[in-house]
C-alpha cells in the first residue's frame, strides 16, 4: 500500500530532494527564508486590494498546509496572495486604491467562486490528466489572458501616484528603488526586491513627510495601540452573481500558473510530478475558497519560493510546513498588521506600477519561452483581441449581469483560439 506521505530520510548530498529532510535547525532557517521570499508579494497583494494583510498572511499559511496534505507532501510549493485577483476584486468592490476596503464581501464571494471552479478543474484533471488543459489553454491563450489582466490594472496603478508633486516623487522613488534593486542588487536581495523597494519608498516618505513636513506624515499611533497577539479581522463573504461572474474566470490564470510551476519544480527536482497536478489544482482551489470564506485573498503557488529552491537546491517539502507555521504566527499578530497598514498610498502606487506592469510583461516571456509563432494569424488575432478587451475593460451585459473586461477577455481568448483552429489539421 502506498504511503500517504514520504518517509523523509536524512539528506546526504548537496541537492536535497522533496522526500528528504535537513537537521531541525537548518529546516527552521530555510523555512524562515521562504517566509521572507513570499512576504513581499503576499503582503502587497492584500494592501493593493484594501484587504487585511494579517488575514491574507494567515490564510496563506493555512492554505500551504492544506496543499501539502492534498499533494501527499510530494510537491514543494508555497501558496501566497495571487495578483491575478487584484483587477477583478477592485472592480467588484469599487475600491478607491488606499486604506481599508469597506466593501470586500461581494469580492470574497467571487474569490470563493473562482476557487470552486479551480477545484472542479482539479477533480477533472485527477480523473483525465492534463492533456485537455494544454490543448484548451496553450501558452498563447494563457499569456493573452494574463497580459490582459495586467493591462486592465493600469488605471488603478497610475491613480496611486497622481495628485500632488509629493505623491509623484514618493511613487517614482519607490518604483525606481524596485527597478534598481531588481537589476543591480546581489542575488539574495534581488529575490526580495519588491519588499526592499517598499522599505526604500517608506523611508523616502518618512524623511520627506515626517522629517521635512512636505507631505502627510505617517501616523504610528495604531502600532503602539495594537497588541502583539490577537485574532485578525475576519470578514464573511456575500454571494452576488455579478461579482462571481467577474472574478471566477481568474481560475484559468491560476490553472496556467500552477501548471507551469509544478512542471518547473518537477524539472528542477528530476521528478515527474504530473500525477500530482490534479491534486495540486484541487489543493490550490480549496485553499482559495477557504481564504475567501474568512476575508483573505485568493492564493497561488509562488515563483519567489521556486526561485529560492533553485538557488539553494533544497526541495524538502517539510520546509514549507515550517514556513506555513511562521506565516500563521504572523497572522495572529495585530502589531505586525498595524505596521503594514502604515505603508503610505504613494508607496503602494509606485509598487503597483511595477507589479502590474510585470504581470503583463511576464506573459511576453511566456510566449518567448514557448516559441509562440506570431506570424500565424490565429495567434496574432487571439492575443490582439484579448489585449484590447482587457485593457479597454470591455463589458458585455447578459440580461441582468455584466461580464467585465477580464471575463470578456478570457472568453475571447479561449473561444477565438479554438474557432480559428477548426479547419486546421
Cell 480549496: give the residue. 286
How far, in Å, CA of 253 to CA of 288, rounded?
Answer: 13
CA dist 256 → 105, 124, 128 (Å): 27, 15, 17
Per-residue pLDDT at 279: 95
Closest of 339, 345, 327 to residue 81, by C-alpha: 327
Given this model, what pLDDT does residue 183 score? Answer: 86
The predicted pLDDT at position 402 comes to: 63
pLDDT < 70 stretches in the chain: 1-2, 36-37, 40, 97-98, 153, 156, 160, 163, 188, 191-192, 303-304, 311, 359, 398-404, 425
pLDDT of residue 99: 74
Contacts made by residues 352-355, CB under 8 angstroms, sequence distance 24+ = 352/48, 352/153, 352/156, 352/157, 352/160, 353/157, 353/158, 353/160, 353/161, 353/171, 353/175, 354/174, 354/175, 354/178, 354/179, 354/194, 354/197, 355/41, 355/44, 355/48, 355/83, 355/194
Cell numbers at residue 48, please?
Answer: 493593493
Determine phi and psi for 301, rounding to 5 degrees.
-65, 145
Q: pLDDT tens digit string along 23-49? A: 888 888 888 878 866 776 788 788 888
Contacts of 171 (CB under 8 A, 6+ apart): 160, 161, 201, 346, 347, 349, 350, 353
Separation between Cα atoms, residue 60 and residue 300, nearest integer Å: 9
Q: Give the pLDDT score at 58.
A: 94
* CA pair distance 182, 163, nearest whole angstrom: 27
C-alpha–C-alpha distance, residues 111 and 423, integer Å: 37
CA distance 35 to 333: 15
Residue 192: the pLDDT is 63
Tell me the pLDDT tens digit for each residue of 299-314: 988 766 877 787 678 8
Domain ranges of the chain: 17-371
User: For the CA atoms of the chain, what is the radius of gyration?
Assistant: 21
Q: Is the pTM of this model over 0.85?
A: no
Amino acid at each position: 500500500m502506498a504511503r500517504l506521505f514520504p518517509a523523509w530520510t536524512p539528506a546526504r548530498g548537496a541537492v536535497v530532494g522533496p522526500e528528504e529532510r535537513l537537521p531541525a535547525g537548518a529546516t527552521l532557517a530555510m523555512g524562515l527564508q521562504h517566509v521572507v521570499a513570499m512576504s513581499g508579494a503576499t503582503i502587497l497583494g492584500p494592501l493593493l486590494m484594501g484587504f487585511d494583510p494579517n488575514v491574507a498572511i494567515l490564510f496563506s499559511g493555512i492554505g500551504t498546509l492544506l496543499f501539502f496534505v492534498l499533494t501527499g507532501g510530494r510537491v514543494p510549493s508555497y501558496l501566497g496572495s495571487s495578483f491575478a485577483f487584484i483587477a477583478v476584486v477592485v472592480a467588484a468592490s469599487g475600491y478607491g486604491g488606499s486604506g481599508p476596503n469597506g466593501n470586500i464581501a461581494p469580492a470574497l464571494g467571487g474569490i470563493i467562486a473562482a476557487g470552486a471552479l479551480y477545484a472542479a478543474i482539479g477533480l477533472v484533471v485527477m480523473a483525465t490528466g492534463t492533456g485537455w488543459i494544454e490543448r484548451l489553454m496553450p501558452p498563447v491563450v494563457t499569456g493573452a489572458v494574463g497580459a490582459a489582466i495586467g493591462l486592465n490594472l493600469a488605471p488603478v496603478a497610475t491613480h496611486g501616484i497622481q495628485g500632488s508633486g509629493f505623491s509623484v516623487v514618493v511613487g517614482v522613488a519607490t518604483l525606481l528603488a524596485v527597478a534598481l534593486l531588481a537589476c543591480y542588487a546581489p542575488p539574495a536581495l534581488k529575490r526580495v526586491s519588491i519588499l526592499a523597494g517598499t522599505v526604500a519608498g517608506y523611508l523616502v516618505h518618512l524623511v520627506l513627510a515626517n522629517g521635512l513636513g512636505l507631505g502627510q506624515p505617517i501616523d504610528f499611533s495604531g502600532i503602539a495601540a495594537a497588541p502583539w497577539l490577537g485574532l485578525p479581522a475576519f470578514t464573511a463573504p456575500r454571494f452576488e452573481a455579478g461579482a462571481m461572474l467577474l472574478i471566477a474566470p481568474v481560475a484559468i490564470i491560476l490553472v496556467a500558473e500552477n501548471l507551469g510551476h509544478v512542471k518547473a519544480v518537477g524539472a528542477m527536482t528530476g521528478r515527474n510530478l504530473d500525477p500530482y497536478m490534479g491534486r495540486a489544482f484541487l489543493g490550490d482551489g480549496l485553499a482559495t475558497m477557504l481564504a475567501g470564506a474568512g476575508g483573505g485573498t485568493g492564493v497561488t503557488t509562488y515563483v519567489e519560493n521556486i526561485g529560492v529552491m533553485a538557488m539553494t537546491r533544497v526541495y524538502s517539502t517539510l520546509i514549507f510546513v515550517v514556513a506555513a507555521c511562521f506565516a500563521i504566527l504572523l497572522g495572529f499578530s495585530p502589531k505586525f498588521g498595524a505596521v503594514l497598514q502604515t505603508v503610505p498610498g504613494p508607496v503602494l502606487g509606485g509598487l503597483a506600477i511595477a507589479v502590474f506592469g510585470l504581470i503583463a510583461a511576464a506573459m511576453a516571456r511566456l510566449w518567448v519561452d514557448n516559441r509562440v509563432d506570431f506570424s500565424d494569424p490565429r495567434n496574432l488575432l487571439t492575443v490582439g483581441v484579448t489585449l484590447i478587451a482587457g485593457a479597454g475593460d470591455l463589458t458585455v451585459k447578459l440580461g441582468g449581469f455584466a461580464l467585465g473586461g477580464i471575463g470578456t477577455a478570457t472568453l475571447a481568448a479561449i473561444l477565438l483560439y479554438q474557432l480559428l483552429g477548426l479547419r486546421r489539421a
